[in-house]
Amino acid sequence: MNGKAQDMQASNEPEARMAAGGGVPVGAGAMPVPGGGEGAGVVPGGAAIAGAVRSTGNVPDARTAGAAGAAKAETGSVLLSIRGASYRYADAAPGEYALKDVSHDFAGGKVYAIRGRSGAGKTTMLALISGLERCTEGSVVFDGRDLKDLNLDRYRSRDIGIVFQSYNLLPYLTVVENIILSMDISGAKIADKKAEALRLMRSVGLKDAYADRKVLRISGGEQQRVAIARSLSYNPKMIVADEPTGNLDKETEADILDILRRLAHEEGKCVIIVTHSPNVCDMADEVFDLQ
């Protein structure tokens, strides 16, 4: 089996890119490089085929807590569609695909788990969804617009929030500075950024006392809360997370999953989580199996 150490290595890669000032927007474009340190060599010729979908029936019906939730959410309408998407690396053998002919619709107000063995193409799928990579064949359509027609930097820094297994915060900045930096990159018009950052912190269960603490001095679970707050800083309609609870203990995992579920069910966001964790699959409204 592929170990956690390798997964961590894979998702540390964007951290290195950000630290090196690679021009990747914080909380936005940084995405683990598909297969980085994880898939390669594990599944030779690993071609992923279109996944099977299981609905867990977790979506509360007629939910949407009143008009406010419904207005924000447009719960149930398709936000992102993957249509016949395939991806193959330039150096892949003929016929070898990292992702092969995947189609699926993702709606607001729901939590999706993408599940599959190591090398199945999960990170590749998230990279296509987040616009870090372009499909070799097929398309990804967000809010009615094909990603190939969009400015992807803008898409990543405004329309979609990204959460990583290893948090990928800037450790020498404070909690509030990490969140405000992401607001600045997005160009979102926010009158009082510090007040908004504090509001976001509270929404993920972080006390105000943490605001001016350097990120390297808080726990992993707290860092993941900050990372979620950061991903919400420009109020995206969609949150994607690559193994967001992979480094956390069970109790902290439950807290983080609660936050993600609330974002979908109460705020109408489309939440997509790549995972190995049965707990994530259990709480998801829909499980998409990449085989």
Residues that bind Mg ion (CB under 5 A): 122-123
Closer residue to ligand ADP (CB): 126 or 179 = 126
Can you tell me the distance from the alpha carbon of 239 to that of 251, in angstroms, rounded to the nearest whole number? 22
Can you tell me the distance from the alpha carbon of 130 to that of 13, in angstroms, rounded to the nearest whole number? 16
CB-nearest residue to ligand ADP: 35
The 8 Å CB, 24+ separation contacts for 42-47 are 42/2, 42/118, 42/119, 43/117, 43/118, 43/119, 43/120, 45/93, 45/96, 46/96, 46/98, 46/119, 46/120, 46/121, 47/95, 47/96, 47/97, 47/98, 47/100
Applying the rule CB under 6 A, the residues between 61 and 120 that interact with ligand ADP are 89, 91-92, 98, 116, 118-120
25 binds, among Mg ion, ligand ADP, none (CB under 5 to 8 A by kind): none
124 binds, among ligand ADP, Mg ion, none (CB under 5 to 8 A by kind): ligand ADP
Contact 18, 10 (CB under 8 A): no
State the number of CA atoms in the 13 A half-sphere of 160 facing the CB.
32
161 binds, among ligand ADP, Mg ion, none (CB under 5 to 8 A by kind): none
Asked whether position 246 contacts ligand ADP by CB under 6 A, the answer is no
Can you tell me the distance from the alpha carbon of 286 to that of 254, in angstroms, rounded to the nearest whole number? 18
Q: How far apart are CB 212 and ligand ADP at their closest, in Å?
A: 36
Contact 75, 64 (CB under 8 A): yes
Q: How far apart are CB 10 and Mg ion at their closest, in Å?
A: 6
Q: How far apart are CB 176 and ligand ADP at their closest, in Å?
A: 32
Q: How far apart are CB 118 and Mg ion at their closest, in Å?
A: 7
Closer residue to Mg ion (CB): 47 or 201 = 47
The four Cα atoms 129, 134, 138, 139 give a dihedral, to 10 degrees, of: 50
Closer residue to Mg ion (CB): 122 or 269 = 122
The one among 25, 27, 29, 35 contacting ligand ADP by CB under 6 A: 35
Count of residues of this chain found to bind ligand ADP when the rule CB under 6 A is applied: 19
51 binds, among ligand ADP, Mg ion, none (CB under 5 to 8 A by kind): none
Can you tell me the distance from the alpha carbon of 133 to that of 275, in angstroms, rounded to the nearest whole number? 20
Which positions lie near ligand ADP, rule CB under 6 A?
A: 34-35, 38-40, 43, 46, 89, 91-92, 98, 116, 118-124
